[in-house]
Structure 1
């Protein structure tokens, strides 16, 4: 849903279309045959590999209920360690294996070909991809905080990924500072509010 909302507001004014690739039949059914339609649309690919980490027996419980049932220290360990799984759940390491494998197989080739890709996903799958891109340690990734709805921009240049913007704060200023159109837009907003 986040990707669809973002794309409907994108300056390209293209219609986001979900591409189904679960089976050969679904690929065939979601194929666009009209060249004119292809020019007016932008593909959206859903991938289960970018789903949120599976919390097993913690799934659906709020933090308070979970802490009361299992103890605050244990819940913190499950939520904030790299290799420890909650009961019948998935560790960040396991989530990272599937998310990064998907990124490397399906997204990197697009980037290497010079295409632009928007990745909208859940915090832990994004945290795993950021760990891979920024070469973070397991300790650095568990302390990485991501703000909801704040875009992060990566540029692939000279064989490496360079981050523009910061995941650390609730401000979008870091991203605005790196794109000319957005910087002008932000400047106009700042002038109007003063």
Structure 2
């Protein structure tokens, strides 16, 4: 299985809290995704199933990867449970401005803390995902106005158990394009990371992560691809 955080988005470049907001990739982000796809193709990677969140930066990254792999026709599943952690009222706010207002430690807790979250978006707010037609098939009570990483982990693990474990047990090769926090939450689950470990753990954009499993879908090991040999991480 290959996991990849989406390539650079407009709000990554502008250093804004993004969450479920939907900025596009930058030109640099497109180039990042193309390089990752070329690397996977050169090294012989092929996939049987592909997943992304419902946010365009992850969808576009997946589309670029599959195009560079020559697998444009591979069916894709867009699952809302792979969406980035919802940052609530922080979404769209410049991180430097937030730091000036509340201090670097509080901003770090909002970004990396396991149980910390900012003020929520009210359900009456037009920006709340309950008003977004992309999520019309989702029970409105499940759509967040804000999340911490613990809540994000709950939905990501549900996706993992429902969608991915059966495919791995069938021997399928999986490609998942998602987001920094959803991938942190998933790797926390798979690698058995502690809260302290996951709070210090960051994932770079457009850098493939290879996960290997035994026939029962138990994780064997994982490592970053197209990086230095010492990029391997352990639980």
Shared fold, TM over 0.5: yes
Aligned counterparts, 1:174-185, within 5 A: 174=229
Alignment pair present for 1:162 and 2:194:
no
The alpha-carbon deviation at position 158 of structure 1 amounts to: 4.8
- State TM-score, norm by structure 1: 0.69
Alignment pair present for 1:95 and 2:127:
no
Could you give the per-residue CA deviations for residues 22-47 of structure 1, whole angstroms, max 9, x where no partner exists?
xxxxxxxxxxxxxxxxxxx3111001
Q: Distance in 2 between matches of 1:111 and 1:48?
A: 21
The alpha-carbon deviation at position 166 of structure 1 amounts to: 3.4
Q: Distance in 1 between matches of 2:95 and 2:204?
A: 18
Aligned counterparts, 1:48-127, within 5 A: 48-88=80-120, 89-127=146-184
3-state DSSP class of the match of 2:190?
helix
May I ask how many residue pairs the two structures share in their alignment? 147
Give unmatched runs, 5+ long, in structure 2: 1-59, 121-145
3-state DSSP class of the match of 1:118?
strand
Give unmatched runs, 5+ long, in structure 1: 16-40, 178-194
CA contact (8 A) 1:165 1:174 kept: no
CA contact (8 A) 1:50 1:121 kept: yes
Q: Distance in 2 between matches of 1:165 and 1:71?
A: 34
CA contact (8 A) 2:84 2:180 kept: yes
Aligned counterparts, 1:11-22, within 5 A: 13-15=70-72
CA contact (8 A) 1:154 1:163 kept: yes
Q: Distance in 1 between matches of 2:71 and 2:107?
A: 44
CA contact (8 A) 1:66 1:75 kept: yes
**Structure with greater helix percent:** 1
CA contact (8 A) 1:55 1:90 kept: yes
